[in-house]
Structure 1
Amino acid sequence: MNIVADLILAGALVAVWLTAGLLADALPSARSASHLRRRSGLLTVLVVAGAAVFVAIPLVTGLMPGKSAAPAAALAPAVPALIVLTTGLRRITQVWRGAGAFATAPQTPVPPALRAAAAHPMLLVPLQVTGLATLIGLPIAAGWVEVPGADLAGIAITVVGVAVLAIGIRAGLRHSRLSLQALAPIGRHRPRVPIDR
């Protein structure tokens, strides 16, 4: 068992997906449309790099002699990463295109609707959950936790489950607040239009 190679592979997974999760959290707070476009473009690159690391893990471990714990370490973040690749990546692309509409005026403040789209829970939550789930893989790759049936793995999954719930609630509240700012105030009375006589 090559623990150093397993830790390098698991560490690469953690570095890419944790960075993507942190960048996704900062996405709605972009100062301008060009800043939002740069952030969403970088986030797309990180998601593609994270998917490439997932593909590289079985290839690299297949070339190494002996048993490897890296594929088992990559199982926990695999499900949220699939959600990111199927729904989150499409939402990131929509934000990137929306911010690109302001290319002729790059210092334009981010419109409230675009800021709300950048804070959508289906964009933020899977990315942040994937980043947290990769942390579970480090003790597995180091050989400290045996999978399946380890008590420590059950505790780690419970802690991540509570964190997922907290992230989901926070993202939902944030999106609701930003969505309300995107709506135009609707009054009870219609403005009177002068009639020419």
Structure 2
Amino acid sequence: MNIVADLILAGALVAVWLTAGLLADSLPSARSAPALRRRAGLITMLIAAGATVFVAIGIVTALLPGQSAAPAAALVPAVPALIVLTAGLRRMAQVRRGAGAFATAPQTPVPPALRAAAAHPLILVPLQVTGLAALLSLPIAGGVVKVPGADLAGIGITVVGVAVLAIGVRAGLRHSKLSVQALAPIGRNRPRVPVNSR
């Protein structure tokens, strides 16, 4: 077993995906549109780095002699990472393009609709769940938890499941609140249609 190599690979997964999840949480609170664009670009680069680490795990474990627990550990965050790569990355690109429209005005505050788009649950939830799942992969890579039939793995999966539910509810409420703020000016400025009185 190459425990040191497995822990290095799993640690790289944790570092990249946890950082991306934490940055995604601060995405809607950017002070200006260019700052939002920079954060979205940085998160996109971290997602690409996270996908590269998944590929590197397969290559490195194939080249090293002996058995490795890194591929089994990488399976834990692979499912939410797949959602990030399919749905979240597309929404992140939309946010980046939307913020890029204000590139010529660096002091422009973030429009409410763009802030609501940055807080969309399909951006935040899969990134943070991938970071949590990557944390769960560390004891698997270290050989502390054996994947098939381990009681500790069941407890870990239950804790992550509760955390996923909490993250999902929080992200949904946050997106709802920002969506209402984006639509509020439309409701206030709606022109009144005069009623013909006879």
In the TM superposition, what is the alpha-carbon distance from 1:191 to its structure 2 partner?
3.5
Gaps of 5+ in 2: none
For residues 155 and 36 of structure 2, the distance between their equivalents in structure 1, rounded to whole angstroms, comes to 37
In the TM superposition, what is the alpha-carbon distance from 1:186 to its structure 2 partner?
2.2
Q: TM-score, structure 2 length as denominator?
A: 0.95
In the TM superposition, what is the alpha-carbon distance from 1:106 to its structure 2 partner?
1.2
Partner of 2:82: 82
Q: 1:1-197 residue pairs with structure 2 within 5 A?
A: 1-183=1-183, 184-186=185-187, 190-191=191-192
For residues 79 and 38 of structure 2, the distance between their equivalents in structure 1, rounded to whole angstroms, comes to 27
For residues 11 and 123 of structure 1, the distance between their equivalents in structure 2, rounded to whole angstroms, comes to 23
In the TM superposition, what is the alpha-carbon distance from 1:185 to its structure 2 partner?
4.6
Runs of 4+ in 1 over 6 A off after TM superposition: none
SS in 2 for 1:186: helix
For residues 136 and 148 of structure 1, the distance between their equivalents in structure 2, rounded to whole angstroms, comes to 14
| Stretch of structure 1 that moved more, 141-150 or 162-171 | 141-150
What whole-Å deviation, never above 9, does each CA across 1:51-105 have from its counterpart, x for those lacking one? 0000110110000000000001101100000000000000000000000000110
For residues 189 and 81 of structure 2, the distance between their equivalents in structure 1, rounded to whole angstroms, comes to 45
For residues 190 and 29 of structure 1, the distance between their equivalents in structure 2, rounded to whole angstroms, comes to 31
Gaps of 5+ in 1: none
Q: TM-score, structure 1 length as denominator?
A: 0.95
For residues 97 and 188 of structure 1, the distance between their equivalents in structure 2, rounded to whole angstroms, comes to 27
Indicate how the Cα distance of structure 1 residues 72 and 37 shifts in structure 2: closer, same or farther if over 3 A, else same: same
Identity %: 79
What whole-Å deviation, never above 9, does each CA across 1:102-130 have from its counterpart, x for those lacking one? 01101100000000000000111000000
For residues 91 and 109 of structure 1, the distance between their equivalents in structure 2, rounded to whole angstroms, comes to 20
For residues 90 and 189 of structure 2, the distance between their equivalents in structure 1, rounded to whole angstroms, comes to 37
Residue 36 of structure 1 aligns with an amino acid whose one-letter code is L
SS in 1 for 2:146: coil
What whole-Å deviation, never above 9, does each CA across 1:132-178 have from its counterpart, x for those lacking one? 00011100111101111100000000000000000000000000000
For residues 162 and 16 of structure 2, the distance between their equivalents in structure 1, rounded to whole angstroms, comes to 22
SS in 2 for 1:75: helix
Indicate how the Cα distance of structure 1 residues 83 and 192 shifts in structure 2: closer, same or farther if over 3 A, else same: closer
For residues 83 and 143 of structure 1, the distance between their equivalents in structure 2, rounded to whole angstroms, comes to 27
Alpha-carbon RMSD across the aligned residues, in angstroms, is: 1.4
